[in-house]
Structure 1
Amino acid sequence: MQITRQPPVKHTLEPSNHPYLSGPWTPLQEEVDVDELEVIEGILPDDIDGIYLRNTENQVHQPLGRHHPFDGDSMIHQVSISGGKASYRNRYVRTHCFEEEQIMGRSLWGGLMDPKGTADRPGFGAHGRLKDTGSTDIIVHAGTALATLYQCGEAWQLDPETLDNLGKAPWGPLDGISAHPKVDEKTGELMFFNYSTHAPYMHYGVVDRTGTLSHYVPIPLPGPRLPHDMAITPNWSILNDMPLFWDEDLLKRDIHAARMHEGVPTRFALIPRHGQPEDIRWFEAEPTFVLHWTNAWEESDEVVLEGYHQTNPMPEPLENMGEHGHMMAYVDEHSFESRLHRWRFNLKTGETTEERLDDRIVEFGMINPDYLGQKSRYVWSTTTRPGWFLFNGYIRHDTETGASQEYALPEGVYASESPMIPRKGGSAEDEGYLVTFLIDENTGTSQCAILDASDITKGPICRLALPHKLCSGTHSTWVERSQLDADKAVRRQQAAA
């Protein structure tokens, strides 16, 4: 394992016993390149050919106010796999905010736990005073990796192969974009949304295969909302208006405090992919909040949507956690009780029907990406350690039969969001692999692990040693090398035109 270390960044973070600045959430502050990772268990399958990217929060400077795990600076970790070998590298995302704090040598913005904001200068996102870290989501569109913030910052571009920072996406609208844009590889289009505290409160857009904003329309809402994710089918994009949003009276005093609004239903906006506001079909459902959808598809006269329904979106503070009790509950799936759920929207009658698909507490699910927007059968969800935002295992759901498989990681070992990699030449939907990063608090190390997606009960079939212990984080993605090659061909055609 040959390690090349990058020049260090300035950092002022002090050692802390904060639950999300220590243990598996201890920030990592070095950037390295490793030419070939050592296989420490099993055999790395030689039919995997692509790149795994994971976005993590790594606080660089001492926080100005109370720290929230989603405040940290974005660091992207990459494992590139081909021909039975793997390499690794990691890089901070050099947002404007990251660069300004590097110049000043300290934090300039507060975080999510400060309702009125604590900042030395104007902030960003729907909240208005936050730091644009780009530390929530990571996807690849048109050959470029995009790191995005859940509260609507810029889309920060990186080369998925080198992790070179490429600046902000030139097509980004004034109100930014939310995390969780969706890419349809069949058309090469990226669908996104944003939200804000000024009318019309939400927009929806489409970016084409060449990286050009081709469609951008308002989605009028009754007031400021806090949507987190969207879904797509070949003909529809699905947005939402849920009853968990900022308290309107407090917002008038510039205090951003979310609450559930009694008597307000969940609403879904189905808009044709290139539709106008007047084309939106609105559907109502039982009140809830949903962080993440797994898939959506069209079935006869219905549009079907699957995701994680929350039974208790505003949980009580966790006990014995002192000042951290509220924050700990809000990121604890066992507190807000997220379960796999299905909604059906009948385009003829305008009715919505719902059903629970699994009673276990799960979230952060993945599907076979070849089935995005198409009817799918399998979902690979993560389980979490109660009281914490830490993934400690997996459940493989068969949503057709109700059967499932489960795998629990050893105590003190935590996973990352784990994309499904379809097996080349495979015919079954569940034929392939899961790829993940593991943080082992028992040994103070991290590994890249591969699981058999058709039988997760076996646990990792291969583990590769990483050069340092990672900090935990949120989202990840997998991109096939063949897709990157196709995107390069499109760019060459553009350049020659």
Structure 2
Amino acid sequence: MIDAVTVERYGLPGHLRSVPDEIDAVGLPVTGVLPPELTGRYVRNGPNALPGQSTGLFQAGPGMLHGVRLREGRAEWYRNRWVRTGAFHGRPFVGPAGIDRTAVSANTHVVHHADRIFALVEVGLPYEVTPDLGTVGPCDFGGRLTTAMTAHPKRDPATGELHFFGYGMFPPYLTYHRLDAKGELVHSREVAVAAGTMMHDFAITEHYALWLDLPVTFRLEPAGRGGMPYGWDEGHGARLGLMRRDVPDAPVHWFEIEPCFVFHVGNAYEDDSGRVVLDAVRYSPEEFTSLWSLLTRSGALTGAGAVAGRALLHRWTLDPATGGVTEEALDSQEVEFPTLDDERIGRRARYLYTVTGTDPRSVGRCAIVKYDLVSGTADRHDLDADTVIGEAVFVASGDGRRGEDDGWLVSVTTRRDGSASRLIVLDAADLPAGPVAAVELPRAVPTGFHGSWFPDPGPT
């Protein structure tokens, strides 16, 4: 069991230690049989300190992309590359001229939209990268993006539009943005909130954007000391906001909820009666403050990257007609990093995939947990005690799918001592059966944050 004192005394555990260089490897060994329809690239982002440098906080390190190229049952290559941002080259985020939104870590997520790939972190501009993980540079969409961009944009599967937001420490505190399917920034608007809150994620439905205005607000004092500039604010309150995204400048309908915090949303949808259902991973005030105390100490970390604690899958049901809201826990086991079939984003989805056992204070094994939100049951794949797993990304099996879970879950596992890593592939319809294939990676990949699957056809 790893706590902050252990970290500070002995350093990062092996599965989180940064790698010192960039490498390329080809013809990777495969155990089992890779599904031939898995032809594309899996790319995952996470912090990785430069050799001889320390950022003080593990989660603030420069972004590094790790990619594996699969083609027709073969694992053709692995490579890793730092995202060469302004911060990578030594420029400060805050200088005499103010905030430099290109001087960021770009270490949280990597997404694809309109034939472009972006490395993301929520405090600055996105950085475009190539399919081979080289850095192109910062992107402000022709000068139209003047705020930061969230690391968790949402693509509407019906329209192909990409919805996202930027939050700030100073006004405007929250700004909503929309890219069309061609990648043009076509709409931006400020959303009125009372303070600068840490809004890591949000949700969309067919007609709404759903905001999480929760009681973690900007703090100037720790920011001045180089620490995390946010903290729990007992007086801020907690509320969820519904905003029609198909009506320009539509008002936000706010729903007061019990104080809590959410790092990651699972999904949201509109039910047959017009209510909006949100599933997300909820931290109680006590669990969040315990976690935040751990994270904001120098070198502090968690087993799956930057999130741990007794976080439970939770559901809120919002009724725009009555203004009522109900809340319920969907499970009693701690989970994080919820994912789903991207074609179900904003629509009713039966399955949600999470990871558990990654809290460094936990003695349990890591596992992937699949929730059936219709039957209320859960399946899981447990790893051995010496292995840590990251977020599991769903990849649909292709044309002729038999069901919503007809596809694969892809994730990177790393030995706790940092001695080896594998890319594993599981049948999403049968997690207990274990991996159908595993790709042996040429080095240990530090456990990081979020990743994506970029299917062919595309650049080679």
The TM-score with structure 1 as length reference comes to 0.81
RMSD: 3.4
Q: Quote how far apart the aligned CAs of 1:317 are.
A: 7.3
Q: Which residue of 1 aligns with 2:390?
A: 416
Work out whether 1:473 is the aligned partner of 2:445: no
Aligned 1:158-169 pairs, distance under 5 A? 158-159=129-130, 161-169=131-139
Residues in 2 aligned to 1:255 and 1:467: alpha-carbon distance in whole angstroms: 34
After superposition, the Cα gap between the structure-2 partners of 1:194 and 1:349, relative to the gap in structure 1 and judged at 3 Å, is same
User: In structure 2, what is the Cα distance between the partners aligned to 1:386 and 1:55?
Assistant: 19
Change (3 A) 1:198 1:319: closer
Give 2:437's aligned amino acid.
C
Q: Secondary structure at the match of 2:195?
A: coil
Alignment deviations for residues 283-314 of structure 1 (CA, whole Å, 9 cap, x no partner): 22211100000111111311111110112343
Equivalent of 1:343 in 290, 307, 316: 316
Q: Which runs of 5+ in 1 are unaligned?
A: 1-15, 102-107, 111-116, 489-497
1:154-182 deviation per Cα after TM superposition (whole angstroms, max 9, x unaligned): 100112x3223221113162222121111
1:360 & 1:93 partners in 2: Cα distance? 35
Determine which of 46, 50, 64 is the counterpart of 1:75. 64
1:53 aligns with 2:24: no
Q: CA deviation at 1:33?
A: 2.8
- Which secondary structure state, in structure 1, belongs to the residue aligned with residue 323 of structure 2? coil
Shift of 1:403: 1.1
The change in CA–CA distance for 1:265 and 1:303 in structure 2 (over 3 A counts) is same
Show the counterpart of 2:113.
141
For residue 261 of structure 1, the aligned residue among 222, 230, 233 is 233
Query: C-alpha distance in 1, partners of 2:275/2:215?
Result: 24
2:81 to 69, 87, 91: 91
Structure 2 CA distance for partners of 1:391 and 1:81, relative to 1, 3 Å: farther
Q: Which residue of 2 aligns with 1:35?
A: 26
Secondary structure at the aligned position of 2:408 is classed as: strand
Q: 1:33-432 maps to which residues of 2 (within 5 A)?
A: 33-39=24-30, 41-63=31-53, 67-87=56-76, 88-98=78-88, 100-101=89-90, 124=100, 132-150=104-122, 152-159=123-130, 161-171=131-141, 173-247=145-219, 257-262=229-234, 264-300=236-272, 301-311=274-284, 312-316=286-290, 335=309, 337-387=310-360, 392-424=366-398, 425-432=400-407
1:458 corresponds in structure 2 to 433
1:458 alignment partner AA: A
Structure 1 counterpart of 2:45, one-letter code: N
1:316/1:326 contact within 8 Å kept? no
When residues 265 and 451 of structure 1 are mapped into structure 2, their CA distance, relative to the original with a 3 A threshold, is same
CA deviation after TM superposition for structure 1 residue 414, in Å: 1.3
- Secondary structure of 1:473's counterpart equals coil
* Amino acid in the other structure paired with 2:62: D
Aligned-residue identity in percent: 27
Q: Which has the higher helix share?
A: 1
Cα offsets for 1:162-221 (capped at 9, x unmatched)? 223221113162222121111224322111111112223110100112221100000111
Aligned 8 A contact 2:8 2:298 in 1: no
Structure 2 counterpart of 1:68, which letter? L
Aligned equivalents of 2:128 and 2:48: distance in 1? 18
Does the 8 Å contact 1:451/1:460 carry over to 2? yes
The alpha-carbon distance between structure 1 residues 19 and 59, as it changes in their structure 2 partners (threshold 3 A), is farther
Aligned in 2, Cα 1:290/1:82: closer, same or farther, shift over 3 Å?
A: same
- Secondary structure, counterpart of 1:314 in structure 2: helix
Q: 1:446 — aligned with what?
A: 421
Alpha-carbon distance in structure 2 between the residues aligned to 1:238 and 1:346: 13
> Which runs of no fewer than 5 residues in structure 2 stay unpaired?
1-6
Residue 15 of structure 2 aligns to a residue in which SS?
Answer: helix
Using the size of structure 2 for normalisation, the TM-score is 0.87
CA gap of 1:263–1:123, structure 2 versus 1, over 3 A, is closer
The Cα of 1:19 is off from its aligned counterpart by 6.5
Q: Closer, same or farther in 2 for the Cα pair 1:185/1:310, shift >3 Å?
A: same
Offset of residue 273 of structure 1: 2.2
Cα shift at 1:235 = 1.5
Q: Structure 1 residues 392 and 290 mapped into 2: Cα distance closer, same or farther (>3 Å)? A: same
